[in-house]
Structure 1
Amino acid sequence: MGWVSNDNEHEGWAAAVAPDGRPSASSSGEGILVQGITGRYQPDKMLPDYEVVPDREIIGWRGACDCGWRGELWERVPSPAAADFSRRRDYLSPDDVAHASNEVEDAIHDEWKAHLAPLEAVAGVEAAARDYSQAGERLDKTVAAAKAAGASWTDIGRAVGISRQSAHERWADRQ
């Protein structure tokens, strides 16, 4: 299961990690799919550039985003006694499908959202800048229309909250 950012520019997921560190792209009934051919694992039948890593060999999980971001490793430990969420360790039986537990997946999702936070904040700045630019263009047009209709610089300045002289300096050359 993956997540998509509000702007649809980023897709993230809890990636299973192969012993050589490659993150998964997906899974199949035969195991976890990782991109690249090392010759150690069977190639996938449908995706020739992917290998199928057996579930039992997955060493852990990490957040992944299609932009290239990778989170820190959540280690798969060999026994329930070795599991320690505060140390990023979780147990999964060697016989289970190597998907992250709900608890680990939720933690990875939170990490992915933290990765997006600055990007989404900048997107908000971009949207505000567009709004500001559009409002400025609208103001310039309405000032020109007011002047064309006979309004004085004093009236225009008062409407905008600036002096007559400031209004004249700002818009007189645009007439």
Structure 2
Amino acid sequence: MGWTSNDYQHEGWVAAIAPDGRLASGSTAGGMLVHGITGRYKVAGDFVAPDQEIVPDDLIMSWRGACTCGWQGEVWQRVLTPAEADVSSRKEYCPLGDAAYVSGPVEDAVQGEWMIHIAPSEALLGVEAAAKEHRQASHRLDKTVAAAKAAGASWADIGRAAGISRQAAHERWADK
């Protein structure tokens, strides 16, 4: 399961880390899918993922946040007893023999890190939307001023309606 930014430029997920450092991009019943063929693990298959290997779940000893843009979060360590687990220390209990998935609280923490990563691009979406609205409103204002002038309104009347002086209205719209 992953998360997508509002501009669709970023997709984040919790990535299992293979013993050789490669990040998993998905999973199968047999383990985690990692890109590349090293010959150390079973190839996923011709139709499923011919360029990926399946790393057994029991070999996954850590996770981190990942994003399609290349960003990677801090590492979360796998611990083998519930007593060792501590979200504040980035330690996750995942018993051997189970699928190497993180718990809900760890996934939420990783998603929070990813949200901080995408915050600048998310904020820029607001700037882009406001700029577009500003351009549209400016164009609409230019057209309505031209219509008012064509209908016989004075520059003083137009300036008063626009909240500016007669002279400012004339300077802004006389040539349009």
TM-score, structure 1 length as denominator?
0.94
Deviation at 1:104, TM superposition (A): 0.8
Partner of 1:77: 79
In the alignment, is residue 44 of structure 1 matched against residue 18 of structure 2? no
Partner of 2:116: 114
In the alignment, is residue 34 of structure 1 matched against residue 30 of structure 2? no
Partner of 1:15: 15
Deviation at 1:97, TM superposition (A): 0.4
The CA deviation string for residues 11-62 of structure 1, in whole angstroms up to 9 with x for no partner, is 2211111112211111001110011112221111121110100101112111
Deviation at 1:91, TM superposition (A): 1.7
- For residues 144-155 of structure 1, what are the structure 2 equivalents within 5 Å? 144-155=146-157
Aligned length: 174
In the alignment, is residue 160 of structure 1 matched against residue 159 of structure 2? no
Q: Which moved more, 1:130-139 or 1:2-11?
A: 2-11
Q: Distance in 2 between matches of 1:11 and 1:63?
A: 11
Q: Aligned AA for 1:126?
A: E
Deviation at 1:81, TM superposition (A): 3.3
Structure 2 gaps of 5+ residues are none
Q: Which moved more, 1:71-80 or 1:94-103?
A: 71-80
The CA deviation string for residues 123-171 of structure 1, in whole angstroms up to 9 with x for no partner, is 1000000000110011111111111111110000000010000001111
Q: Distance in 2 between matches of 1:150 and 1:2?
A: 60
Q: Aligned AA for 1:19?
A: P
Deviation at 1:118, TM superposition (A): 1.4
Q: Distance in 1 between matches of 2:112 and 2:69?
A: 17
Structure 1 gaps of 5+ residues are none
State the 4+ residue runs in structure 1 displaced beyond 6 angstroms.
none
Q: Aligned AA for 1:145?
A: A
Q: Distance in 1 between matches of 2:21 and 2:90?
A: 16
1:91 pairs with 73, 81, 93, which one?
A: 93
Q: Aligned AA for 2:29?
A: G
Q: Distance in 1 between matches of 2:174 and 2:39?
A: 73
Q: Aligned AA for 1:151?
A: A
Q: Which has the higher strand share?
A: 2
TM-score, structure 2 length as denominator?
0.93
Deviation at 1:10, TM superposition (A): 2.4
In the alignment, is residue 140 of structure 1 matched against residue 142 of structure 2? yes
Q: Percent identity among equivalent residues?
A: 63
Partner of 1:2: 2
Q: Distance in 2 between matches of 1:147 and 1:139?
A: 12
Q: Distance in 2 between matches of 1:69 and 1:130?
A: 29
